A and B are shown apart, each in its own frame.
Chain A
Amino acid sequence: MKRTVSILVALVLVLSVGVGMVAQTAPKIGVCIYKFDDTFMSYVRNTIETAAKGKAILSVQDSMYDQPRQNDQVDQFLVEGMKSLAINMVDPSAVSVLIGKAAKKKVPLVLFNREPAAADMAKYAMAYYVGAKAQESGTMEGEIVADYWKKNPSADLNKDGVLQYVMLIGDPSNTDAKYRTEFSIKAVTAAGIKVQKLAEDTAMWDRPKAQEKMAAWLTAYAGKIEVVFANNDDMALGAIEALKAAGYFKDGKYMPVVGVDATPPALDALEQGYLLGTVLNDAKRQGLATFELAYSLALGKPASTTVAPLANADGKPDPKGKYVWVPYVKVTKDNYKAFK
């Protein structure tokens, strides 16, 4: 009994240290991140936390890639009387349950980064979404490649007029991964270039795995691969390491590799001439938009953000819309310095 009490006291103390900093009048906002070890989401989270300083009391939870855990966290937020919620869902298709919970307590809900179905969004007037059009990231990746292909005829190694490529997929069950895979190739074909897929495989967004897959492909398709697409930069960098080991990037041997995210190591690789290009999913502006939206709603004001106008699900501006679309940015050798 005594021990239980002392453990409880200790817990309360620890928890109160984390909370008691901000003035009591600031609204409380609950934030869930689908998992903390996702690099991109860490940027978003950091922006949200920075933006909230002095304005709101945040409770930021790690959902550890576990939707049931996130549901429990949201329940806890509602019990604690959060004024608004900013939720980065683990599984966007399970959103109706969360929307139901928030609607019941009339707490505004800002979903971000992982897009739920429009039909679910329609169920609750105070449900908003902040994110980027995942298709757009794939499209931009494809445009970078198409641009390069047209400017460098020597990129067509076997001179057959067809672009032979390999694709490193993040996680096949992830919609971003699907869109990037699909729309990057669509953009290339839209530019009038014929393509042939040599291989595609999943490397789970992971750099060592991508390195291993790429090394195997270099064996299986020696000299045939003309372009490497990767769903994110970590995998692109893994592929680059495998290419380096196979003798690329010296003595004029080059391989165009593209990724998404514009992480610092990717920008570095751009600078050094390894990476052809990447696409910035603007974490800072996404985090800022998420916070501004959740903050205005928590104060009971109309939804507003300085990042981009409110829009509808298709991307058309609409003052009554429930979507904020944060644009992607192409990053290549020409403009990378602006993002460092």
Chain B
Amino acid sequence: MSTLARAEGPRRSIAELASKNAIVLVLLGLVLVIGAARPSFLNPENLVNILRISSVRAIIALGVGGILIMRGTDLSAGRTVGFAAVVAASLAQRDDYASKLFKDLPMLPLLVPVLAALGVGLLVGLLNGSVVAFLKVPPFIATLGMMVIVYGAVSLYVDRPPMGAQPLGGLREDFTNIGTGDTLTIPNLILIAALVTLVTYVILNRTRLGKNVYAIGGNPEAAVVSGVSVWRNTLLVYAFGGLLYGLAGALLAARTGGATNNYGQMYELDAIAACVIGGVSTSGGIGTVGGMITGVLIFEVLNNGLVVLGVSAYWQQIVKGIIIVAAVAIDIQKYVRKR
């Protein structure tokens, strides 16, 4: 078997390389086409900007990606990002800001709002994981319920007297700096996203958790008879996803300098779409970190590129929808076998 594959290797390599990296080619193609039509798209500032916007999306996609690989799904991702953003924002308002949510809140160490956001995400993730692992509720339903619950919770959190529901603004400079500032001329957001990407890569490829996730997604029966604890890994994957949503929420609040209770709405669908574009199989067991990141970049290049090209809002939607389906159609060919 192996010798056979090696013998055929060189001949097949170019076609194979193209097929394996079809998604990267799609991304490059998009960049080139948009750049040709509107050269300013290729400005370094604009490309950096796309990366900056992609950062938050990528972190969410990496969280959902692991769950998808394990044959799960997470519809509550977007709302959890929103919840975390609101919690982070509420704890990072300036002292002199007139409409502070918590009037008497002292200035907290910078880490507190971030940790609070991570905590919110982790909590939601653990709840999702528990419902899926112990109550055996199908992930689609469990996280659908959680999506609704989280929205209720965030609205409850933000809608308090005397101001009532309000956008949270007046965030501290040092907090917004996380999302808008640079370190060594590289935007913080991009650095954080790169770090998260690296960590996720290591977890998925070099830890037991990661390998188990692929195994459970690829063949749950095999995992069970091999003595892999399905509940434990389920819990961990949802918790990890939740943690990333929490981080994404904090970063989103920092980047936009505020938060409202409808932040993050539908982000889960964008993230799932990005993962699927990047070759993550919704039937489990297949997907790479590189693919997820590429998927996110395709999405954001489109988002930005279509605006730069001046495409009307309605056509933007149609084009994006077509690209999602087309990208997956191209990518899935490597798994489709003739019956």
Contacts and interface: CB of A to CB of B under 8 A. Distances in A.
A and B touch in the complex (CB under 8 A): yes
Interface of A: 36-37, 39, 42-43, 45-46, 169, 172, 199, 201-202, 206-208, 211-213, 215-217, 219-220, 222, 233-234, 237-238, 240-241, 244-246, 263-269, 340
A135 B267 CA distance: 33
A246 B310 contact: no
A37 B260 contact: yes
Given A263-B169, A264-B163, A269-B169, 9 more contacts: A201-B312, A207-B167, A207-B263, A213-B307, A219-B308, A237-B256, A241-B180, A241-B255, A244-B180
Ordered nearest first, which 5 A-B pairs have the shortest CB separation?
A265-B169, A42-B165, A264-B99, A46-B164, A216-B307
A234 B167 contact: yes
For chain B, which range describes its interface: under 10, 10 to 19, 20 to 34, or 35 or more residues?
35 or more
Interface in B161-179: 161, 163-170
Contacts of B258: 207, 234, 237, 265
B155 A36 contact: yes
Contact of B165 (A46, A202, A222): A46
14 contacts: A39-B165, A172-B313, A199-B307, A206-B262, A208-B256, A219-B304, A237-B169, A241-B256, A245-B52, A246-B45, A265-B99, A267-B98, A268-B169, A268-B170
Nearest to B257: A241
Given A201-B313, A245-B180, A264 B304 contact: no
Interface of B: 38, 40-41, 43, 45-46, 49, 52-53, 97-99, 151, 155, 159, 161, 163-170, 180, 252, 255-258, 260-263, 303-305, 307-310, 312-313
Contact of B304 (A202, A212, A265): A212
Nearest to B158: A42
Nearest to B171: A265
Contacts of A240: 257
Nearest to A62: B155
A211 B169 contact: no
Determine chain A's interface SS by DSSP, over half rule.
helix
Nearest to A206: B262
B155 A216 contact: no
A199 B308 CA distance: 10
A247 B115 CA distance: 30
A265 B161 CA distance: 17
Nearest to B41: A219
A215 B304 contact: yes
A220 B310 contact: yes
Nearest to A217: B307
Contacts of B304: 212, 215-216, 219
Contacts of B49: 215-216, 219, 245
Contact of B53 (A212, A244, A269): A212
A292 B304 CA distance: 47
Contacts of A212: 53, 303-304, 307
Nearest to B310: A199
A216 B260 contact: no
A295 B257 CA distance: 40
Nearest to A242: B49
Given A215-B53, A219-B308, A265 B168 contact: yes
A219 B43 contact: yes
